[in-house]
Structure 1
């Protein structure tokens, strides 16, 4: 049916373009206008108080008609109230939809030609069902808090016209203005009602979800408020009883530690995140202990705590001299570091590697350096370490995980710039758990260790302020990349004079104090110390010397405890009486020159020592027998020496036929000890030539040097240690490669004065110096005495 609306609508009506709102029929609304927008409404008096409101499609650039929508609303001006500041408040009522036909006048007042839009609202089961559903949805929306005026709700209950109901409901939907315009332009009331129903359904669904979320939030907030109130009440009760919540107190203590730890910003963020996580974990959970331990480490590590360096170079030199005798190179390097440190505040700590035989003071030197610099001292032993996690720590996912030794020890020291000694770096192992030497590559690299990341902490820690010192007995086992990162300083063995000074300045006083003889301290004569050094020790360092001095002091203490008179002086006779028979002898001085036995010099982890190479021959097929636990390199040296001798038989005065029917046997005594290295090459050749020429080798001549197949004598290492061993053994002359002449600078003057040095370039020179011109009838080479634990030559 058609809804009959009686209205006297003029053919021409004033028009006002809308921008931000949409006007619907039956709608009473208010708009506020500026003074320049008033003319259409003032002119409406001439047109039965009617004005057309049509929304703009876009801002007009010329003519107004193309910029307007086709469908608008004819409104009646109900009231105009002038405002004090200019403009007016206009009350309007929507009458009917109208179609814009033309703009007949654009200025000064827009006048439009319109025609009413006829709506056909036929009642049907569909329209009745839609009206009922719409009413139900409105009540649901109202139950979810959708605000609707009471008078509107009453009106809706009595409206059964789909056209009017759809327009009324559309007013209170939160729809975009373009959607409202589309509803206005939907002329079919039933279609318009369907669209409104769909929009209202979406609105109800949004309200439903919002209500559910709000209910959940309210529930949680209520629970949190309840817990907060209960905690506050519990706290108040505990305060009244004089008690404290242990968990709360622990959390507050940790939070205070985090704030006062002076962590880097990125570490602080991680600590605060872990702190929030800890507060949510049940204390009975294993995760609580893991998180608590982690925070303990983060807060106790000395991120910004350091000890001030002692920059007084003169005082540092005095301290170094007080603690250690000689060691000029090491002391000079430490003083150089202090000098640079006094000129530059921020510098990377040096990475030093002390290499030398046992007992020369490598470890104690680290303590002295720490005392000199005024820093904390840390020492860990790497000997036998096989697990990479010992250096870098375990990840926190493992039960019982802890940081690596680097972070643990720095944490214990409480300073981020200690002197950190890594002892026995040459004895690190490797297995399926990783390679600790590879983990040390980052620790001992100044270009990387500014951000050393322990697996447990999982945050970077700056190690550039730490002075790392490593110690080793030999360099060969250390991987090349690790060796490249360290500044190697070699500590050679001590001479007898140096041992005497060390004993008088340090060892005797220490052992007298340790054994309770301070009030009756015996005086050790120089001869007594020399007797201990020569007859009871055979070492590069002073560890066994200290043990023997301690043994003498204990025996004197025993005599005092038994009521005997304390010995005021310890002389050589006292040493022999208290320590018993000598353990070592001058190996060379006690022997005679022999055919086929040559004296060589060797370098070992314990310093230098002498070896005897014995050669003998027997009738049989041409063959070579090698005994004495010789390594592959040493065996090759024997074969090279034998090939040289065979090739130069005529020159050496040897009958070549002797080799065809002779089996040659080379033996190096102390057969249970493995021996290897190329530096016994000239010793092997000398023993072979002595055997086949019948010329005895001089026992007071010791030699060292690698020999090539053409007879050239090549350079070797460890000359100082070998020379000191020769001196201890009673050798008078030392033969060494000419290329090692430069190493004489490292040998003390008194040693050079006691020994005769002869530097050779060719093996023939060795034969001239080491073999007697003529010898008595050749005798079978007999086994020469060799010091216990004879070392492998190199």
Structure 2
């Protein structure tokens, strides 16, 4: 290694450029300090120090912004260009290292230390030169950035340091890597470094070429597909199919974009759309995929209506649409009040239970109107297949989503009032149990991720307000019943039916039958008789049919010209509608021995039930007739056993069983009867027949009996009370434990009835039987 030399020299910072020793090249210089440095150099010895900046965007670099190693060059020529910059021709001489940089205001001065090449054994350098030339030759063949002329020039160079610098200057490598070559004073190390760099560059170039070939091939394939598609479009246009499948795909894509689906569902939709695009239109799978996508885009995923949480407005609407039904209205208003306070409440699941015609379905419509939600109804009567609820797998021919998803599609919002009509009429068979499939739908903790077999993706039902209707709650399986809040709607009283007829049914039928206001007038006494003698139901559906019939009769009279106005009185009712169809069980005209009036609950509301007992000579056989069910038969057996065990206390001959046969009959034998509420009625009739004490004519009773004479509670007290009121009874004997249910009975009914709560059969007999004993 030769001695190093220190000197002070003007400095020219280079941006994005590096000059090696032995290089000759043009530089464009524009910065004022750089121009001054050049002029200073030309005034002294034409030498200038060229060093690269680390960052190209710095206009006035400090020592830290410059690399430590640069090149001392000779300025051979400087020409001023018209645009104000100076073009300079420089020739690199040798390496130098910065020790200090001085800013003289006009230009930069650098204190430098010259660096000379370090050589090792000549044979090693020779071997590395050959390797480098071999690598460089291969690089030139694959690279478009280095010409063959450059290679020819380099191959004529014998001096290793010069060769390394020239090759480095022509390589398309980063400035940082070029600087690393400049800073390597050891010639052997410099050659080795270049061999490695060229090897890496060759590998990169080869990979680029492979990628280029693949891209070209892909482009050719894309161009081919584009050409074929254009041909297909042209053929479709000629055949009259202007849009073809591509048009369908574009429409479906637009629908997916507009559907506002959750991200996971949108991914599935696009994936299926890609499959649809590839499958031939004639394929059966094509229609299956299209049908699936159509269902996905037609479902409401995020669209919802804004609830109107005005409780007073809702109460007004419910009162407009329905007379009575206070409990149901109160529950709906409670729901609205809670939602207004919390703003986040899961949709409640109400079950309106009651006889046909009491307004369960129309009440659900009123609920939807009162809270400003869409209404959708699904009838579940007779459903036996689980797939009706959960949908079919898409692999089946004619597969469709279940009734729930179909209903949501019709609703077009995620928060409708969804009516599940006749939920107690679902049945199960070999195709599955639809009531079990409903468990997920009606569980507020699960229905946020409802899964339909056809849609497959989770669908959120948590914002839906489900309302179910049922005639007989006992037919609903326990787990399903447990998920619902059951609100019982009993039958209407006569007073309520009169109001409903005047305010809703009659005006509606007058309008539907083409009559004008005032052309038909129905007097109050006629309306009451019509309700009592021409209809027999808990609801008002049959009543509406009779009123419609009355309107048609009036229309015929008016059209025929007989009268211009029809006024219907109680007497004229039979002329228009014929003889009365029903005779409600009326209270007996006098006290009867062996006949007691019981109260029964039916799906059409309440009814009175006369139980008769006949005693005749025999051997103690107990005969039961009247098409009684197992429960009523067991009630009769229990009553009979109790009377036998208490015969002496009841003043009955203990040997009556050995001498007599007993026949218990419930009239209307063609009608099946069953239920756990006729026990005390049968016992009272038996005691009356055996003791000869008449049963009071104004007394009705309901309750079950045990072998010890205790009276057990029953259900349907409101309906039974209505039937007792209709029949003209004035006293009702009820189980003590049912006293709490009296608050559900309308005041108009309570005013005409006396309720007597009892705990034991002795109390029943005391209230029901007269003291008199018929002789004979």
TM-score bucket (shorter structure): 0.7 to 0.9
SS of 2:544's equivalent in the other structure is helix
Contact 2:588 2:697 (8 Å CA) reproduced: no
Partner Cα separation in structure 1 for residue 363 and residue 125 of structure 2: 110
SS of 1:581's equivalent in the other structure is coil
Q: 1:33-432 residue pairs with structure 2 within 5 A?
A: 42-44=119-121, 79-82=158-161, 222=220, 224-232=222-230, 235=233, 244-432=242-430
Structure 1, residues 498-533: CA drift from partner, whole Å, max 9, x if none?
Answer: 111111111110111111112543222221111111
Cα distance change of structure 1 residues 776 and 89 upon mapping to structure 2, 3 Å threshold: closer
Cα distance change of structure 1 residues 241 and 697 upon mapping to structure 2, 3 Å threshold: closer
Partner Cα separation in structure 2 for residue 468 and residue 242 of structure 1: 48
Partner Cα separation in structure 2 for residue 48 and residue 685 of structure 1: 127
Quote the residue 1:513 is aligned against.
511
Q: 1:727-742 residue pairs with structure 2 within 5 A?
A: 727-742=725-740
Shift of 1:685: 0.5
Provide the alpha-carbon RMSD of the alignment. 3.5
Partner Cα separation in structure 2 for residue 52 and residue 590 of structure 1: 131
Contact 2:554 2:566 (8 Å CA) reproduced: no
Shift of 1:245: 3.0
Cα distance change of structure 1 residues 729 and 247 upon mapping to structure 2, 3 Å threshold: same
SS of 1:618's equivalent in the other structure is strand
SS of 1:665's equivalent in the other structure is strand
Q: 1:608-757 residue pairs with structure 2 within 5 A?
A: 608-757=606-755
Partner Cα separation in structure 1 for residue 594 and residue 116 of structure 2: 136
Quote the residue 2:452 is aligned against.
454
Partner Cα separation in structure 1 for residue 187 and residue 454 of structure 2: 82
Shift of 1:453: 1.0
SS of 1:754's equivalent in the other structure is coil
Q: 1:464-479 residue pairs with structure 2 within 5 A?
A: 464-479=462-477
Find 1:435's aligned residue among 433, 436, 447: 433
SS of 1:725's equivalent in the other structure is helix
Shift of 1:230: 3.2
Partner Cα separation in structure 2 for residue 81 and residue 466 of structure 1: 85
Partner Cα separation in structure 2 for residue 49 and residue 421 of structure 1: 93
Does residue 558 (structure 1) correspond to residue 556 (structure 2)? The answer is yes
Q: Count residues with an aligned counterpart.
A: 613
Partner Cα separation in structure 1 for residue 163 and residue 212 of structure 2: 45
Quote the residue 1:571 is aligned against.
569
Cα distance change of structure 1 residues 260 and 623 upon mapping to structure 2, 3 Å threshold: same
Shift of 1:404: 0.6
Cα distance change of structure 1 residues 43 and 368 upon mapping to structure 2, 3 Å threshold: closer
Decide which moves more: 640-649 or 80-89: 80-89
Decide which moves more: 619-628 or 588-597: 588-597
Cα distance change of structure 1 residues 712 and 40 upon mapping to structure 2, 3 Å threshold: same
Which residues of structure 1 form unaligned runs of 5+?
1-33, 56-76, 91-107, 111-170, 177-206, 779-794
Contact 2:125 2:187 (8 Å CA) reproduced: no
Quote the residue 1:127 is aligned against.
none
Quote the residue 2:87 is aligned against.
none
Contact 1:615 1:687 (8 Å CA) reproduced: yes
Cα distance change of structure 1 residues 642 and 220 upon mapping to structure 2, 3 Å threshold: same
Cα distance change of structure 1 residues 529 and 86 upon mapping to structure 2, 3 Å threshold: same
Does residue 765 (structure 1) correspond to residue 769 (structure 2)? The answer is no
Structure 1, residues 694-743: CA drift from partner, whole Å, max 9, x if none?
Answer: 11222321100111111111111111110110111111211111121122
SS of 2:475's equivalent in the other structure is coil
Contact 1:35 1:88 (8 Å CA) reproduced: no
Partner Cα separation in structure 1 for residue 127 and residue 540 of structure 2: 118
Contact 1:556 1:566 (8 Å CA) reproduced: no
SS of 2:539's equivalent in the other structure is coil
Partner Cα separation in structure 2 for residue 371 and residue 662 of structure 1: 65
Find 2:530's aligned residue among 517, 532, 539: 532
Shift of 1:232: 2.9
Contact 2:599 2:720 (8 Å CA) reproduced: yes
Shift of 1:419: 0.8
Cα distance change of structure 1 residues 243 and 759 upon mapping to structure 2, 3 Å threshold: closer
Decide which moves more: 600-609 or 330-339: 330-339
Cα distance change of structure 1 residues 649 and 175 upon mapping to structure 2, 3 Å threshold: same
Contact 2:704 2:714 (8 Å CA) reproduced: yes
Partner Cα separation in structure 2 for residue 394 and residue 472 of structure 1: 26
Does residue 444 (structure 1) correspond to residue 447 (structure 2)? The answer is no
Shift of 1:345: 3.1
Shift of 1:547: 1.4
Partner Cα separation in structure 1 for residue 644 and residue 601 of structure 2: 29
Partner Cα separation in structure 2 for residue 85 and residue 216 of structure 1: 35
Shift of 1:35: 11
Cα distance change of structure 1 residues 698 and 219 upon mapping to structure 2, 3 Å threshold: same
Quote the residue 1:500 is aligned against.
498
Shift of 1:457: 0.5
Partner Cα separation in structure 1 for residue 636 and residue 124 of structure 2: 133
Does residue 583 (structure 1) correspond to residue 660 (structure 2)? The answer is no
Structure 1, residues 620-662: CA drift from partner, whole Å, max 9, x if none?
Answer: 2222212222222211111111111011111111001111122
Cα distance change of structure 1 residues 611 and 88 upon mapping to structure 2, 3 Å threshold: closer
Partner Cα separation in structure 2 for residue 729 and residue 89 of structure 1: 117
SS of 1:608's equivalent in the other structure is strand
Contact 1:353 1:470 (8 Å CA) reproduced: yes
Partner Cα separation in structure 1 for residue 769 and residue 332 of structure 2: 47
Cα distance change of structure 1 residues 440 and 234 upon mapping to structure 2, 3 Å threshold: closer
Structure 1, residues 19-39: CA drift from partner, whole Å, max 9, x if none?
Answer: xxxxxxxxxxxxxxx999x99
SS of 2:600's equivalent in the other structure is strand
Partner Cα separation in structure 2 for residue 282 and residue 48 of structure 1: 69
Decide which moves more: 478-487 or 241-250: 241-250
Partner Cα separation in structure 2 for residue 502 and residue 88 of structure 1: 105
Shift of 1:274: 0.1
Partner Cα separation in structure 2 for residue 717 and residue 432 of structure 1: 34
Contact 1:585 1:729 (8 Å CA) reproduced: no
SS of 2:328's equivalent in the other structure is helix
Quote the residue 2:601 is aligned against.
603
Shift of 1:88: 9.6
Shift of 1:448: 0.5
Structure 1, residues 277-335: CA drift from partner, whole Å, max 9, x if none?
Answer: 00001000111111111110101111111122122222111111110011111111111
Shift of 1:752: 1.4
Cα distance change of structure 1 residues 425 and 638 upon mapping to structure 2, 3 Å threshold: same
Contact 1:35 1:86 (8 Å CA) reproduced: no
Quote the residue 2:544 is aligned against.
546
Shift of 1:50: 7.4
Which residues of structure 2 form unaligned runs of 5+?
1-94, 98-114, 132-155, 170-185, 189-197
Partner Cα separation in structure 1 for residue 127 and residue 515 of structure 2: 125
Partner Cα separation in structure 2 for residue 324 and residue 568 of structure 1: 28
SS of 2:606's equivalent in the other structure is strand
Partner Cα separation in structure 2 for residue 768 and residue 48 of structure 1: 133
